[in-house]
């Protein structure tokens, strides 16, 4: 059958355009939460959460493992939504082949660990428990800030638009810190807004080296 010129139906766009590394990250966060709820239960918090007090006694693995433990369903859904929305442009920039995905996942982990570590340095020895991937998600937000300002590329850290968006994100976290509440947390839980700020700054600064490593890997592969 032939179709007259001008009557060719438009090509259907895929429903999901997110690159596979960001989708895989979402699946990992949701899968870890399912394991927490249906297998580990309340023991997951003490076993895998992060505590500044624990860091002083060798509990450094919690810097990473706490990223995959969440307070409730709303908490994990908020973080997965953020990981998908802001992780997609980061994954595209790093590339979906070669070293790109490896660098993407490492970037997520490092930003989250630095966010938790920054909180611990501000609150040394504090007997509180941090859980959730929000520090990592804010790392993705920091990276995406430079990507959006660069219109798909990487804008300089001190570009006016980057500075304006940075001020807005940090200001938002200061407001959240003053209010001390979040719709994604239950009563008795608080937002570690300081970790968000550290994660954001880590992502803002580390996305440059991450892109360099990813592209160097692609060049070696070629």
pLDDT tens-digit readout, 125-160 = 999 999 999 999 999 999 999 999 999 889 999 999
The pLDDT tens digits of the residues spanning 21-59 come to 999 999 999 999 999 999 999 999 999 999 999 998 899
Query: In this structure, is residue 8 part of a structural domain?
Result: no
User: Is-contact 123 184, C-beta < 8 A?
Assistant: no
The structural domain count of the chain equals 1
Confidence of residue 179 (pLDDT cuts 50, 70, 90): confident
Whether the pTM exceeds 0.85: the reply is yes
- In order of 1, 10, 128, 190, the CA distances from 4 in angstroms are 10, 14, 69, 62
Query: In this structure, is residue 4 part of a structural domain?
Result: no
Q: DSSP of 69-91, one letter per residue?
A: --SSHHHHHHHHHHHHHHHHHHH
- Which letter does DSSP use for residue 130 in this model? B
CATH number of the domain residue 209 falls in: 1.20.1540.10
- In order of 94, 177, 181, the CA distances from 110 in angstroms are 15, 23, 26
* More confident of the two residues 221 and 127: 127
Query: In this structure, is residue 22 part of a structural domain?
Result: no
Average pLDDT of span 64-79: 95
């Amino acid at each position: 059958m032939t179709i007259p010129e001008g009557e060719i139906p438009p090509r259907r766009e895929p429903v999901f355009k997110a690159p596979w590394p960001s989708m895989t990250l979402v699946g990992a966060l949701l899968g870890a939460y399912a394991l927490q709820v249906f297998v580990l239960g309340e023991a997951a918090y003490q076993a895998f959460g992060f505590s500044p007090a624990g860091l002083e006694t060798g509990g450094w693995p919690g810097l990473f493992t706490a990223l995959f433990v969440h307070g409730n369903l709303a908490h994990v859904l908020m973080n997965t939504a953020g990981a998908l929305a802001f992780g997609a442009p980061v994954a595209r920039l790093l590339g979906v082949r070669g070293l790109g995905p490896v660098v993407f996942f490492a970037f997520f982990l490092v930003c989250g660990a630095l966010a938790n570590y920054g909180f611990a340095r501000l609150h040394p020895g504090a007997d509180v428990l941090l859980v959730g991937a929000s520090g990592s998600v804010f790392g993705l937000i920091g990276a995406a800030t430079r990507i959006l300002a660069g219109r798909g590329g990487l804008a300089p850290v001190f570009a006016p638009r980057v500075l304006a968006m940075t001020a807005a994100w940090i200001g938002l976290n200061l407001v959240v810190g003053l209010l001390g509440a979040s719709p994604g947390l239950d009563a008795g839980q608080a937002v570690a807004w300081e970790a968000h700020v550290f994660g954001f700054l880590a992502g803002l600064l580390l996305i440059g080296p991450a892109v360099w490593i990813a592209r160097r890997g692609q060049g070696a592969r070629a």
